[in-house]
Amino acid sequence: MSIEKKFLKAKPVSKVKFSLSGDQYNAASSILLVGDFNHWQVGETPLKKAKTGVWSVTLDLPTGNIYQFRYLIDGTSWENDPEADRYTPSGLGSENSVIEL
């Protein structure tokens, strides 16, 4: 798993690449990114699987904000990103990943 942030000089926007890789994701048929930036709408932000087996998606997110998010694997398993800036209680008995831009 990884998160790459690229801050743009000309705009108050950061290109954020969310990616997942590893044996535990090879058999997955879908991975969704769900969070504040898409109003927690399941299906809004699917990750795409490359031939290398890496799942990823890149979003343009406004800087100066804090975003909570999680990954939904095959519609059943929620996971946090170990490279998140921090974690916060979700209010549902679990934690959400957090990135700060």
Domains of the chain: residue spans and CATH? 2-100 (2.60.40.10)
pLDDT mean over 9-33: 94
Of 7, 9, 2, 97, the C-alpha closest to 60 is 7
The pLDDT score that the predictor gives to residue 31 is 97
User: What whole-number distance in Å separates Cα of residue 86 and Cα of residue 21?
Assistant: 20
**Is residue 15 very low, low, confident or very high in pLDDT (cuts 50, 70, 90)?**
very high
Whole-number CA gyration radius for the chain: 13
Furthest-apart CA atoms within the chain: distance in Å? 40
Q: Does the structure show a pLDDT above 80 at 1?
A: no
Q: Does the structure show a pLDDT above 70 at 76?
A: yes
Q: Please count the other Cβ atoms lying within 10 Å of the Cβ belonging to residue 28.
A: 15
**Is residue 75 very low, low, confident or very high in pLDDT (cuts 50, 70, 90)?**
very high
User: What whole-number distance in Å separates Cα of residue 49 and Cα of residue 35?
Assistant: 20
Predicted TM-score of the model (pTM): 0.92
The pLDDT score that the predictor gives to residue 42 is 94
Cβ proximity of 33 and 57 under 8 Å: yes
Question: CA 40: distance to chain centroid?
Answer: 11
